[in-house]
């Protein structure tokens, strides 16, 4: 089973597991979202069983997943809601701001530039890059859009570490390599093209079309 490494900064009194299976890692934000909902409703304690009933994951699996973040619930009581939120947000990297740029400011790229909610999860988009004259040197949701040719120079000042890729599929590989040469360490790829990156560069593929295909297939089953 693939494992991801996490080195948590801050909260030095805690000892986090450095390796977590990817399926478990993907479930942690589900738990966080539900626990935040409980907090907004005035709840102060939550149990694995309570979470399990709402998100369709077994209580034993939830307890195992939470063991990676080293938080201990009270027997027959549960987890302190505030503590669980803090521990999960810190472990997932949501409390640390990661500077990002968007390459390809079409409809999807512009939507991401306009999504202020990403910042509360640690992703701060600071600029967009494109080659279309109609969008270059303008702003989207108060975020500047520059010509792609300016990226190297701009990023020497911005120090963005994440590149969000929303260009046409045919340009995806070339643009990803360009971003990496300009200092990008992680790529969030929204294109349907399976780009390749060198060792040391983090790649996360999020193909909307692939998810649509799965949904359509299940609807027609």
Instruction: Give pLDDT tens digits for 26-74.
Output: 999 999 999 999 999 999 999 999 999 999 999 999 999 998 997 877 7
pLDDT of residue 8: 34
- What CATH number has the domain bearing residue 137? 3.40.50.720
In a domain, 219, yes or no: no
Running DSSP on this structure, what letter comes out for residue 119? Answer: G
Question: Does the residue 194 lie in any domain?
Answer: yes
Distance, CA of 91 to CA of 31 (rounded, Å)? 13
pLDDT digits (tens, 9 = 90+) for 91-103: 999 999 999 999 9
Q: Which residues of 38-76 are buried (b: 16+ CB within 10 A; e: fewer)?
A: beeeeeeebbbebbbeeeebeeeebbebbebbebebeee
- Average of pLDDT values for 79-100? 94
Predicted confidence (pLDDT) at residue 121 exceeds the cutoff of 70: yes
**Percent of the chain having pLDDT more than 90?**
78
The average pLDDT across 76-97 equals: 92
- Same domain, yes or no: 41 and 17: yes
The count of domains in the chain is 2
Q: What is the pLDDT at residue 12?
A: 35
Beta-carbon contacts of 114 under 8 Å, excluding residues fewer than 6 positions away, are 140, 141
- Whether residues 193 and 132 share a domain: the answer is yes
**What crossing angle do the helices spanning 22-40 and 59-67 adopt, rounded to 10°?**
100
Best CA proximity match to 102, nearest among 114, 92, 91: 114
Nearest-5° Cα angle at 85, 84 to 90 = 100
Say yes or no: 110 and 57 in one domain: no
Q: How far apart are CA 100 and CA 82, in angstroms?
A: 28
62 and 153 part of one domain: no
Q: Is residue 122 part of a domain?
A: yes
Residues 75 and 105 in one domain: no
Are 158 and 108 part of one and the same domain? Answer: yes
């Amino acid at each position: 089973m693939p494992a991801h490494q996490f080195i948590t900064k801050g909260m030095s009194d805690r000892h986090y597991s450095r390796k977590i299976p990817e399926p478990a890692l993907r479930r942690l934000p589900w738990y966080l979202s539900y626990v935040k909902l409980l907090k907004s409703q005035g709840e102060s304690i939550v149990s694995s069983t309570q979470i399990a009933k709402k998100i369709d994951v077994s209580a034993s699996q939830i307890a195992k997943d939470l063991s990676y973040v080293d938080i201990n619930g009270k027997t027959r009581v549960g987890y302190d809601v505030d503590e669980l939120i803090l521990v999960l947000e810190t472990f997932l990297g949501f409390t640390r701001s990661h500077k990002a740029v968007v390459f390809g400011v079409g409809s999807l790229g512009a939507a991401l530039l306009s999504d202020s909610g990403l910042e509360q999860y640690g992703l701060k988009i600071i600029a967009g890059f494109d080659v279309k004259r109609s969008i270059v040197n303008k702003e989207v949701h108060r975020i500047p859009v520059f010509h792609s040719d300016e990226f190297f120079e701009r990023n020497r000042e911005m120090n963005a570490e994440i590149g969000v890729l929303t260009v046409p599929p045919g340009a995806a590989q070339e643009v990803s390599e360009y971003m990496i040469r300009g200092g990008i360490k992680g790529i969030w790829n929204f294109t349907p093209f399976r780009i390749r990156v060198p060792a040391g560069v983090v790649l996360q593929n999020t193909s909307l079309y692939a998810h649509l295909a799965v949904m359509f297939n299940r609807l027609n089953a």
